[in-house]
Structure 1
């Protein structure tokens, strides 16, 4: 997996030594409340290592889950990813479409890091020939929807095609998908 650099950020591979940060971030209700059909906080170090392992399983030659790190201080700030969406169903299956997403530690909120990290990932996607790229959010997740708009993504509408839930769908190409199920 290649690292990406933006003006303030280093996007790098997650390492097992980062598990304490992953546990701290994903043990917070305010971070996980908009993640998946049944949001669940992490409870211990083993669960954090399991999360890191699950991210590695979703990676391939073009798709990755990066740690977001402040270039100046070295402090971890969150996660940004470019992965295949998971199609609704039991069990969920990998979809053909690619998703960009981000999760930041609350201490990093409000500084433009999500937009900056996702911009670097979308540039990487374009260089890698991945188009369109989608983003999905909970209908009530106004903060992530604002990031999508700052990224220049187009709101397509609601869909229940992914993650066994109804979500707002955004895309990097207008008119490329229909919003229904």
Structure 2
């Protein structure tokens, strides 16, 4: 499930940001996100030894996978018009049916400027207006910055955890809207 209807373009605006569908030409930003990921992130979510996913593969994903137009929206700074990451809702299959997961990831160079909190707040407002009653978010126990963002936007950690001895424990968070 993606949030929204394929073919319908979701655009959210804050004072500093525009959240909108990805453009194929922005695949290098996605590639940069992949290359910056913490080494504790599982290998299937990082660039592999053969350089995959490539920019061309990410371009194809933007063209063909609805999640990049209706779920995980590009986060663009309005003043500089540059894309700095993504934020949105997806069905990860980990939460109850009809309760999507909030997901966000920003380029390291823009961390600690409040963009993740601002983007997440816009997505939460949109989710509430769209009739969702509760959202989920998962985060690695070692990812203190993302845990702080989730707390700032009103998520609370649940008792549910998925322990992975190699990559860390995934914590499940929820928020009523």
The CA distance in 1 between the partners of 2:58 and 2:144, in whole Å, is: 27
Secondary structure of the structure 2 residue equivalent to 1:85: coil
For each residue in 1:116-138, what CA deviation from the matched residue of structure 2 results, as whole angstroms up to 9, or x when unmatched?
Answer: 00000000000000120111001
| Aligned residue among 118, 137, 141 for 1:116 | 118
The CA distance in 2 between the partners of 1:12 and 1:125, in whole Å, is: 15
For each residue in 1:57-115, what CA deviation from the matched residue of structure 2 results, as whole angstroms up to 9, or x when unmatched?
Answer: 3479xx52100000111011111011112249xxxxx9543111100001111101000
Shift of 1:155: 1.4
Shift of 1:11: 0.3
Aligned to 2:173: 170
Aligned to 1:105: 107
Aligned to 1:10: 18
Query: 4+ residue stretches of structure 1 with deviation over 4 A?
Result: none
The CA distance in 2 between the partners of 1:58 and 1:72, in whole Å, is: 26
Change beyond 3 A, Cα 1:87–1:149: closer
Flag structure 2 segments of 5+ consecutive residues without an equivalent: 1-8, 163-167
The CA distance in 2 between the partners of 1:134 and 1:16, in whole Å, is: 28
Q: Is the 8 A contact 2:99 2:132 kept in 1?
A: no
Say whether residues 1:64 and 2:71 are aligned partners.
yes
TM-score under structure 2 length normalisation = 0.78
Q: Is the 8 A contact 1:158 1:166 kept in 2?
A: no
TM-score under structure 1 length normalisation = 0.77
For each residue in 1:27-75, what CA deviation from the matched residue of structure 2 results, as whole angstroms up to 9, or x when unmatched?
Answer: 2233x744x6843227321232244357x33479xx5210000011101
Higher relative contact order by CA 8 Å / sep ≥ 6: 1 or 2? 2
